[in-house]
Structure 1
Amino acid sequence: MLKTNALPTVPRWAVLAAHAVPLAVLPSGLWRLALVAGLPVTQDAGDGTIGLGASLYVVSLSLVSELLAFLTLGLVRAWGEVFPRWMPFLGGRRVNPAAATAAALAGVAGLCAIAAWGVYAEYAGLGPGIPASPAQEAVLVACYAPLVLWPPLLAAVAVAYHRRRTGRGQYGAGCPTASSCV
């Protein structure tokens, strides 16, 4: 059983979907970290072809991706409704539901644009052309395939958040939060 700090009014499916997002992003980040570490994830891994700048970029990309995925949890937790007290200038203030929803849906649009570019680049021959054996390519695909879950899961959780916070869900119009109408 999944034990979380989710709010009692958040649908269980939304809590599960929000927790699935960071888990879906994790394998691709681990693959990139393995590449930087020189593990044999490509045929030329460990031969020194990836420099310091590229290594920093790849590590940063992995960390930022995981942090952005982690923000999905804010849509099902209390810190997505009221900013934590420790945050300068915002601590203790209510999170604007429209702003949080817009940011999440902008993230969905950005993820879809990145995916579309990736598909186009692959078919147009513009991709990086990572040299890999069949086994290495299978690992690459296995690590990156879960990323297709990120946009739809984020969109679903964002819509549920918006409905719950604006009173357009099961609680009826005029309820600023579900807990105030129960």
Structure 2
Amino acid sequence: MLRTDPAVAAPDRVLVAATALSGIATLLGGGFLTGLVPNFYVGGDYSPLADLIGSRPTTVLHTLFALLGTAAGIVGLAGRLNRAAIVTAGVLQAAVFGIVMGSLGTLSAVGYLVAFCMPVVVVGLLVQVIRRQPRLRWTVGVPALGVVAAALILAGAGLPDAVRTAGSGVAGKAWQLGMVLLLLVTAAVWAAVAVRAAAAGGGLDRATAWVLRHRTAITVVAATGPLPYALIRLTWLTPWPAGVDEGVPMTIRVWGLLLSSGAWAGVFLTLGLIRPWGEIFPRWVPGLAGRVVPIAAVAVPGGLVAATVTFSAVPILSGFMGEGLVDSLLGALMIPCWYWGPALALAVWGYVAHRQAQARG
């Protein structure tokens, strides 16, 4: 019998969540194999691995590792796995479901969900700036709100068309998108299990100290990750749109603006990891102004985004291969997940360590 490690023996919510997600993935895998559930790995462009080795072997791999994750979680919750075994299980599950089973659909799904929310978020924040920031009311709030109103007028029918098109697309692909998100969250939560177990007993103290020393530089580097994509999507509003044919319809221009605004939000929020408003809610946040930002409110979404970007690096880089050296390099620079994801993960790590050090006094 393996030695019980007191640091990980007690059940915790992260391991419970990881076990439950692996259980769901196991049930779905069984459904895929028996034909009771439409097989996610048959057809579509959501699984490069299935394209490479076939849907049946991919489904078997999915089911096998999901079952192993469920078993590891149950044994771990019973206090029968030591720290090294928990770390190994977490790394293995994160690697399989995040990287091996990953696809371009992971980043696309998250990106379009963020884009959907951006109009409401932007208008809400501008209204709060006008209400709560007298110094910025006439220099930032009102002019920016006027720009938004002018953009809505210029978009005309393009905005509702874009919403309808995207809405019908999401509805038609709801099952596939749900599976993409399940694989992503399963991988991300198991990665969190591995990190927590590795950190127990001071196993990551030296690495944490290094991240703390360099967290400002790391965060700035991470904030540059979304910039190329944000700038390229803004070109869809000009006569020289990058990546699409000339004569871009208004629907595409609207989506270019929404996708770009989501990327700019990523830049802004990443910098918040090293700014005071990342620790205390500023006055323009409704209902929370002046309150301390809970560490989990930053660490959970930040870690999930970092996992999404990191896991997307391999399929994105492989997708650009075969298009020539220059095009491959341009693609790697346009969507630089290869450094953006790891840098963001380190930036979130540094933020959490900083806040925990503050709490200790």
**Fold in common (TM above 0.5):** yes
Alignment size in residue pairs: 151
Q: Are the equivalent residues in 1 in contact too, given 2:299–2:348 (CA < 8 A)? A: yes
1:89 to partner: Cα distance: 0.5
1:21 and 1:70 in contact (8 A); partners too? no
What do the CA deviations read for 1:9-56 (whole angstroms, capped 9, x no partner)?
x945211222223323222222222244232745x632x2x3211121
Q: 1:176 corresponds to which residue?
A: 359
State the superposition RMSD in angstroms.
3.2
1:16 aligns with 2:206: no
Q: 1:120 to 1:139 in 2, by over 3 A?
A: closer
Q: Does 1:26 align with 2:216?
A: no
Quote the Cα distance in structure 1 between the aligned partners of 2:304 and 2:241. 36
How far is the alpha carbon of 1:68 from its aligned partner? Answer: 1.5
Aligned counterpart, 1:57: 255
State the alpha-carbon separation in 1 of the partners of residues 342 and 312 from structure 2.
14
Alpha-carbon contact 2:212-2:354 (below 8 Å) kept: no
- The residue that corresponds to 1:144 in the other structure is 334
* Contact persistence 2:309–2:337 (CA under 8 A): no
Q: 1:40 to 1:89 in 2, by over 3 A?
A: closer
Q: Is the 8 A contact 2:281 2:288 kept in 1?
A: yes
SS in 1 for 2:359: coil
Contact 2:317–2:332 (8 Å) recurs in 1: no
| Higher share in helix | 2
**Larger RCO, structures 1/2 (Cα 8 Å, 6+ apart):** 1
The CA deviation at 1:155 is 0.5
Structure 2: any 5+ residue segments left out of the alignment? Answer: 1-210
Q: Does the CA contact (< 8 Å) of 2:216 and 2:274 recur in 1? A: yes
2:344 counterpart of 1:154: yes
Query: Identity over the aligned pairs, expressed in percent?
Result: 29
Specify the code of the residue in structure 1 equivalent to 2:276.
A
Q: Which stretch of the first structure deviates more once superposed, 108-117 or 150-159?
A: 108-117
Q: Find the counterpart in structure 2 of residue 3 from structure 1.
A: none
The answer as to 2:289 corresponding to 1:99 is no
Deviates more, 1:50-59 or 1:156-165: 50-59
Tell me which amino acid in the other structure corresponds to 1:146. Answer: P
Aligned partners of 1:39 and 1:45 also within 8 Å: no
TM-score in terms of structure 2 length? 0.36
Q: Which runs of 4+ in 1 moved over 3 A?
A: 112-123, 137-140
> Counterpart amino acid of 1:166?
Q
Mapped to 2, the partners of 1:114 and 1:151 lie a distance apart of 9
Measure the CA separation in 1 of the matches of 2:328 and 2:315. 21
Contact preservation (8 Å) 1:108, 1:152: yes
Distance 1:55 1:140, change over 3 A: farther
Residues 31-90 of structure 1: per-residue CA shift (max 9 Å, x gap):
222244232745x632x2x32111211221111112112201111111111101232100
Matched to 2:221, the amino acid is A
Q: SS of 1:93's equivalent?
A: coil
120 and 55 in structure 1: CA distance in 2 versus 1, 3 angstrom threshold: same
* Aligned partners of 1:82 and 1:94 also within 8 Å: yes
